[in-house]
Amino acid sequence: GQNIDQPTEMTATEGAIVQINCTYQTSGFNGLFWYQQHAGEAPTFLSYNVLDGLEEKGRFSSFLSRSKGYSYLLLKELQMKDSASYLCAVMDSNYQLIWGAGTKLIIKP
Amino acid sequence: DAEITQSPRHKITETGRQVTLACHQTWNHNNMFWYRQDLGHGLRLIHYSYGVQDTNKGEVSDGYSVSRSNTEDLPLTLESAASSQTSVYFCASSEKTDSGNTIYFGEGSWLTVV
């Protein structure tokens, strides 16, 4: 079967750095996405990785290792507005998105 | 700005009633999707369409149907609403770009079946 695993919940301090991990087992691979979802709102696109390595976008970076079936989202200089759920999704060989259940990130002052 | 809109945003209905959730996008995307999101689960795909007159079943399609008569709209119908269909429903659309097939979501429709 296809599976995406990510921690259910994480807590971090304002101004700090947090890494949210995602491991996957899918039928083929055509890219990995990270989305941010604030409570009661729609998911919004953060990043896309299809090749191994690190993609940086401001305070957010996403890393991919295809051989390990592993990705992480790194958030730097955490702000209170970063409190949200972070969803990992993998596009499989049929170009279907397989979604993780999401990681709820709680930021404390 | 191009966008994707859903209506109604909130609805309460009775068991056994037919319900239709509307989805309209102005990006001219070929691909459209309906997901449901429940606590403890990731987004689960209900139905999807890759173009006009094309519809496909997703992971949790039982009790739902869609139709695609034009590029802009993909209405989702619950034929006979059940309490298990109480959920938040997201419509989404995509087109292949340099960022892969990035999916963009509507604001969501909260459905309660009593």
B94 closest CA partner among B48, B63, B57, B55: B48
Tokens 């409570």 appear where?
A39
d(CA A107, CA B21): 35
Question: Cis peptide leading into B8, omega within 30 of 0?
Answer: yes
Count of Cβ atoms closer than 10 Å to residue A79 Cβ:
11
Which chain B residues contact residue A3 at CB under 8 A?
A: none
Q: In what order do the strands lie in the sheet with A53-57?
A: A3-5, A18-25, A70-75, A60-65, A53-57
| Predicted pLDDT at B97 | 66
Per-residue pLDDT of chain B (114 residues; tens, 9 = 90+): 669 999 999 999 999 999 999 999 998 999 999 999 998 788 999 999 999 999 999 999 999 999 999 999 999 999 999 999 999 999 999 987 666 678 999 999 999 999
> What is the rounded CA–CA span in Å between residue B53 and residue B85?
25
**Backbone φ and ψ of B85, nearest 5°:** -95, 5
Question: What is the reported pLDDT for B21?
Answer: 98
What's the pLDDT at B99?
Answer: 63
Per-residue pLDDT tens digits for A52-104: 999 999 999 999 999 999 999 999 999 999 999 999 999 988 888 899 999 99
- Å between B18 CA and nearest CA of chain A: 25
| B43 in A contact zone (CB under 8 Å) | yes
In terms of Cβ atoms closer than 10 Å to its own Cβ (0-12, 13-18, 19+), residue B22 is: middle
**To the nearest 10°, the Cα dihedral for B54, B15, A41, B45?**
-30
Of B42, B99, B100, the CB nearest to A101: B42
The residue to which tokens 């369409």 are assigned: B49
Which of A47, A99, A103, A104 to mutate: most B Cβ within 10 Å?
A: A99
Q: How far is B42 from chain A (nearest CA, A)?
A: 4
Q: How far apart are CA B36 and CA B50, in angstroms?
A: 19
pLDDT score of B5 = 96
pLDDT at A101: 94
